[in-house]
């Protein structure tokens, strides 16, 4: 473990010689860089060289600074990928090659409610039945959601850009197609929201940040394009914490409908709060390090964070090329599967995607399914433990045989710093220009400071962290090799940071309410590219519970 301690020391020190030199060189010429500057940088990086070493290094350091300046003359926009890419697969993993027919077992004989406003809390599967049978029109459903946005958004601050004209046009087209016998599938005519880091041609893409408030990107993200092909109706672009951190954006904080005095968490704040408040049937969110799991929990909705390399990020703001993931936020795990079916797979534009079948069966054979649970985490004391224990008992009553497993004992903190370095690179010019001062949050634990600090992470230490990440991937493969799926507390036991680094899929669903009346959640995770098993288990749990059917008071 000495190597990992060295990595940790490097990150805590937080400064590379070249980074320190960059700091000095921002105020002096190359000729002004001296061996004394290198000596100071050594201390900050936890290194020690001789004076002879420094004398030999000096010209190379000066040349490097000149090279930095040359690179900064290039226009490298946020959408440009690094040439080095992350692969979640490790040796020994065999992926399925056959796509079997998916078996959904969708609800039938759904009855229209007396109060049409209640439709805002129906699942995608239930609404799909009503629209397919023409008991409900897409235009009517779209108008119900638009009216609710008009009535309630002032309390929540979810909507960034309402796409009402587009929505009504798409809804009318859906009704005409269905009436003519052209039914595209369960998303046809269903209204949805998108996190405003996804580009939609003709509309601003603000990234939740003041400097980008009027940004127009002349393309449409693959995810949105695929939902349009599925016949879904785009209602609005919704809030995210500025540049995908937290729930505070340039307008205000997004609030949870369960308690409007509390933030919706983030960064998929608007996507989660919007679905919870009945603003749409589903939403698209993103996660780099908890941005689906956390707001889905806070707002009592279901969220799927797919395997890294499953859903195209073309047209999405890049924060971390090796960790960003797009996924659906819905009322149920079943809905998450229906949306995922429409958006997964290669598009020829996102170079990280791997073409693997998505196999799903609604029924769960508990006699054959090996279900792991993170024993030490469930046994510990933490908020929400009683609800998690009740979840385990519910699964046992369904016939589940729970097998104890353990997460890798690994120094994840130093490795997760890769995110900060990649984010700093993605917003390099933004930091150097001083535009970062326009972000609402200017505290230590916010992007402006993190971007600046990450400039001084040694390049060598970044690559060492990447190599350590490979070891973590290998250890994770061993940790779950004897189970098909596994269950963990959403925020205890280390599953959240580990699986965001290794790329494993996760479904988070509500499993109770705390003493303050706020939702709690449980997490189901599984093997790489096996979203089907994870979704099926989460659905089986929701079939015998009703936490996902609860409606926030006042909405």
Please give the positions annotated as active site.
195, 267, 291
CB 540 within 8 A of CB 522: no
CA–CA distance, 404 with 297 (Å, rounded to integer): 24
CB 38 within 8 A of CB 58: yes
CA–CA distance, 190 with 227 (Å, rounded to integer): 10
Pairing of strands 485-489, 282-287: unpaired
H/E stretch holding 5: helix 2-13
Report the length, in residues, of the chain: 555
Q: Which of 323, 328, 272 is nearest to 305 (CA)?
A: 328
Q: How many CB atoms lie within 10 A of CB 319?
A: 25
CA–CA distance, 390 with 430 (Å, rounded to integer): 47
Report the helix count and the strand count for the chain, using DSSP H and E.
19, 13
Q: Is the peptide bond before 157 cis (omega within 30 degrees of 0)?
A: no
Q: HSE of 98 in the Cβ direction (CA atoms, 13 Å)? A: 2
CB 93 within 8 A of CB 49: no
DSSP label at residue 399: T
Q: Which of 413, 394, 412 is nearest to 402 (CA)?
A: 394
Pairing of strands 302-305, 506-513: antiparallel
Distance of alpha carbon 59 from the chain centroid: 44
Pairing of strands 485-489, 371-374: parallel
């Amino acid at each position: 473990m000495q190597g990992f301690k060295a990595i940790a020391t490097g990150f805590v020190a937080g400064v590379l010689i070249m980074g320190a030199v960059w700091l000095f060189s921002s105020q002096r010429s190359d000729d002004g860089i001296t061996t004394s500057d290198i000596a100071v940088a050594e201390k900050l990086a936890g290194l020690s060289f001789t004076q002879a070493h420094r004398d030999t290094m000096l010209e190379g350091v000066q040349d490097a600074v000149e090279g930095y300046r040359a690179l900064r003359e290039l226009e490298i926009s946020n959408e440009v990928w690094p040439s080095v890419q992350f692969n979640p697969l490790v040796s020994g993993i065999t992926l399925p090659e056959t796509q079997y027919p998916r078996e959904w077992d969708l609800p039938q004989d759904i009855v229209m409610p007396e109060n049409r406003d209640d439709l805002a809390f129906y699942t995608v599967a239930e609404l799909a039945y009503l629209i397919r049978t023409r008991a409900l029109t897409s235009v009517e459903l779209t108008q119900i959601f638009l009216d609710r946005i008009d009535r309630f958004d002032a309390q929540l601050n979810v909507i960034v850009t309402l796409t009402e004209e587009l929505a009504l046009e798409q809804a009318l087209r859906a009704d005409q197609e269905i009436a003519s016998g052209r039914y595209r599938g369960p998303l046809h005519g269903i209204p949805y929201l998108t996190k405003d880091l996804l580009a939609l041609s003709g509309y601003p893409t603000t990234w939740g940040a003041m400097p980008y408030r009027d940004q127009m990107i002349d393309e449409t993200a693959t995810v949105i394009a695929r939902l349009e092909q599925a016949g879904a109706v785009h209602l609005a672009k919704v809030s995210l914490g500025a540049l995908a951190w937290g729930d505070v954006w340039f307008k205000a904080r997004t609030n949870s409908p369960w308690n409007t005095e509390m933030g919706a968490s983030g960064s998929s704040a608007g996507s989660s709060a919007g679905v919870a408040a009945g603003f749409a049937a589903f939403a698209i969110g993103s996660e780099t390090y908890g941005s689906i799991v956390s707001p889905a929990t806070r707002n009592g909705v279901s969220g799927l964070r797919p395997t890294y390399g499953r859903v195209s990020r073309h047209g999405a703001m890049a924060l971390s090329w090796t960790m960003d993931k797009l996924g659906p936020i819905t009322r149920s795990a079943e809905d998450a599967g229906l949306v995922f079916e429409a958006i997964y797979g290669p598009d020829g534009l996102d170079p990280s995607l791997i073409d693997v079948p998505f196999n799903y069966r609604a029924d769960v054979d508990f006699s054959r399914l090996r279900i792991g649970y993170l024993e030490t985490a469930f046994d510990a004391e933490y908020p929400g433990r009683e609800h998690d224990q009740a979840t385990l008992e519910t699964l046992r009553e369904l016939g589940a045989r729970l097998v104890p497993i353990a997460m890798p004992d690994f120094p994840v903190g130093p490795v997760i710093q890769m995110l900060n370095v990649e984010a700093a690179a993605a917003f390099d010019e933004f930091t150097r220009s001083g535009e970062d001062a326009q972000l609402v949050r200017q505290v230590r634990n916010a992007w402006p400071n993190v971007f600046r600090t990450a400039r001084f992470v040694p390049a060598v230490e970044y690559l060492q962290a990447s190599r350590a990440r490979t070891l973590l991937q290998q250890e994770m493969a061993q940790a779950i090799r004897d189970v098909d799926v596994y269950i963990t507390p959403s925020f205890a036991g280390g599953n959240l940071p580990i699986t965001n680094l290794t790329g494993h899929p996760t479904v988070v669903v509500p499993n109770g309410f705390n003493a303050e009346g706020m939702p709690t959640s449980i997490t189901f995770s599984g093997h790489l590219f096996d979203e089907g098993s994870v979704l099926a288990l989460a659905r089986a749990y929701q079939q015998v519970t009703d936490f996902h059917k609860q409606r926030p008071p006042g909405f």
